[in-house]
Structure 1
């Protein structure tokens, strides 16, 4: 499978798969999309709802470029809250691509470059203590074969779009994800397709449509507690 490094409209990198006609992030801006969908609507929202919580557990579906993990490291430090981060990736990116990713440069955070590189180069299936506020574990596995070590507070659902990987957007998959969540956990995803929302509802989620990142009208946030919108 051919994977090509591309530059998105906010100057940050992503990776395109020509065969599937998809990219790992929005071509309108990789960093701005990830910040909006996963950090603002996910991590910040959850901590805002749990002001007394000193830690949370994040699970990311698809480690990919590592951008979501990097942004979470920076946010955990800013908030001074501990994040235990786990992610699965069945098809890791090649070193020839990851060594070129410009996220630390684009974020004006050069100090974090060696740490970002360690996310990619570190051992699989072992927990790394990245900082006082962030621990990291990546598992080389398909989602179907993954089981978390403890209940998940926030799921970053960042699989490729349903047109490319429809098998990852089914009711059965969302039932698995719901069973992974803590009682007040949430799931956030950039995708707002009607079929996806209906699969989430059928699995037992409550789902709300919220404003999406730039160039995208809506995204989804799901939980056990929120009332479903019509």
Structure 2
């Protein structure tokens, strides 16, 4: 993807605009605000509340993008008794010069936040990297069609693909079925999207779905649970 532009969202944090798709990587109402609400509060925090005794949590992220979600996750669990094993797939990794223009490190105070953001992006693709005492990261350069790990190997999925109107193949029944199969029993799937056909397909593959209040700028978002 060429001609990607760095933009500033309403909460002051960076995102990226792809002019040829007229699509941004995050909500223009606030990149950090959206990610913290959708993926941490409604995803990770929800899962941990339901599974308080579980100390190892395996997360799959669809769309590494700017690294915002794994960075915020790393920051959120610092110093806690938890072992996050985070896998993120991305077909088109960003060029280092674009990453250098992102201002996330300036949005969170302290040298540790800057150090962790740098470690995430410097981590070698296809290898497990220890980002903090609480989180290991494996970045995989692939698309969803070619990503075939063992079934039932993730507890939580951050589904952060581009919108269905821009990338419909990512939201197909077949992809959602794969997500269902990759989750452990009682695993959780969370996304910013609340599009009608997507929610119907999510139910059709077997998820128990919840329509939740969305982050700023979005009326709703969706969470699915694999009940067995």
Shorter-chain TM range is over 0.9
Q: Give 1:114 shift.
A: 2.7
What secondary structure, in the 3-state scheme, does the structure 2 residue paired with 1:15 have? strand
> Equivalent of 1:162, from 136, 161, 164?
164
Residues 100 and 80 (structure 1 numbering): CA distance in 2 closer, same or farther, change over 3 Å? farther
Q: Please, which moves more after superposition, 139-148 or 106-115?
A: 106-115
Give the superposed CA RMSD.
Answer: 1.4
Asked if the contact 1:65–1:98 (Cα under 8 Å) also holds between the matched residues in 2, the reply is yes
Tell me whether 1:176 sits opposite 2:175 in the alignment.
Answer: no
CA offsets 1:170-212 (integer angstroms, 9 cap, x no match)? 1100001100000010000000010110111122211110111
Asked if the contact 2:184–2:226 (Cα under 8 Å) also holds between the matched residues in 1, the reply is no
Aligned length: 226
Asked if the contact 1:99–1:117 (Cα under 8 Å) also holds between the matched residues in 2, the reply is no
Match of 1:64 in 2: 65
Residues 109 and 162 (structure 1 numbering): CA distance in 2 closer, same or farther, change over 3 Å? farther
Asked if the contact 2:116–2:132 (Cα under 8 Å) also holds between the matched residues in 1, the reply is no
Q: Structure 1: give runs of 5+ residues left out of the alignment.
A: none
Q: Give 1:7 shift.
A: 0.4
Structure 1 segment 69-218 matched on structure 2, within 5 A: 69-77=70-78, 79-148=80-149, 151-218=153-220
CA offsets 1:80-124 (integer angstroms, 9 cap, x no match)? 321000010000111111012111211224322132122222211
CA offsets 1:19-41 (integer angstroms, 9 cap, x no match)? 11110000000000000000000
Q: Please, which moves more after superposition, 158-167 or 109-118?
A: 109-118
Structure 2 distance, partners of 1:40, 1:34, is 9
| TM value normalised by structure 1 | 0.94
Q: Give 1:215 shift.
A: 1.8
Asked if the contact 2:80–2:134 (Cα under 8 Å) also holds between the matched residues in 1, the reply is no
Q: Which runs of 4+ in 1 moved over 4 A?
A: none
Match of 1:48 in 2: 49
CA offsets 1:25-74 (integer angstroms, 9 cap, x no match)? 00000000000000000000000101111120000000000000001001
Q: Structure 2: give runs of 5+ residues left out of the alignment.
A: none
